[in-house]
Amino acid sequence: MDDDLQLIDFGQDIHALTKKLASTHRVFHSEADFQHALAWFLHGEIPNAEIRLEHRVPGMDLRSYLDIWLTVDGQVMAMELKGTRRGG
């Protein structure tokens, strides 16, 4: 990873934001549906954020991508989303 890359812990803020998203979107049809909805929601909630989907991780294997890469004021939050499927 880049030495200049600073990771921040959004912790409670992300938890609160995802709860807010859940209040308007009860069901997601796929991981991609959730990924897009969350990215669009974060874009509205944090207008100064730069948001990238399926972002290649700097300094890692060329096949390594993260679902959401969020940059705010030079600080990064990387998200890999996982969900459960009905019946499985």
CA proximity to 78, closest of 30, 11, 18, 7: 7
Which residues make beta-bridge pairs with 68?
Answer: 53, 79
* 12 vs 49 pLDDT, higher one: 49
Spatial distance between the Cα atoms of 16 and 22, rounded to a whole number of angstroms: 10
Q: What is the pLDDT of residue 52?
A: 93
Q: Are strands 75-79 and 6-7 parallel, antiparallel or unpaired?
A: parallel
pLDDT of residue 86: 66
pLDDT of the residue at 12: 55
pLDDT at 15: 73
To the nearest 10 degrees (0 to 180), the angle between helices 11-24 and 31-45 is: 110
- Sequence length of the chain is 88
